[in-house]
Amino acid sequence: HASAATMDAIHVSVALLSGNTCCLTVEPQELMGSLQRRASDAFGRHVHELHAADRPLEEGLTVAEAGLQDGDVVFAIVSKLTSICASCDAFAALTPCGAVVAWGDAEKGGDCRAVQAELTE
């Protein structure tokens, strides 16, 4: 028999901008800060922030309050970003060294490789 808490657990994929991912099992009452620390451990790198497809996920929210569901993907930001912009389907961020990184739906702005040379601070 699985406990009720285990049956409520969901699987969330955490993805780095590089494409590396890890799958973590989380409880609905677990804080996003805990998920962030577990992702840091899984990647062996400090995760500064977690983002859903359309918003940042605050550390003080529970998984349930953040609205995460089984099979969801969240994005891990492992370096401090100067600024971040988002649409419903893609993100772009400016790093402290002036580089622009993008992720999400490639057809809706999540892939900036074709114009990378034109992107400057």
pLDDT in tens, 69-103: 999 999 998 876 667 787 878 878 777 667 787 87
Cβ count within 10 A of residue 71: 10
- The model's confidence at residue 58, banded by pLDDT at 50, 70 and 90, is very high
Of 2, 9, 20, 4, nearest to 71 by C-alpha is 9
SS3 67: coil
Structure tokens at 70: 């089984």
The Cα–Cα gap between 40 and 5 comes to 24
Q: What is this structure's pTM? A: 0.65
Given this model, what pLDDT does residue 1 score? 44
Q: What is the distance of C-alpha 120 from the center of its chain?
A: 24
Beta-carbon contacts of residue 46 (< 8 Å; ≥ 6 apart): 40, 78
The Cα–Cα gap between 58 and 61 comes to 6
Position 16, amino acid? L
pLDDT in tens, 15-43: 997 788 999 999 999 999 999 999 999 99
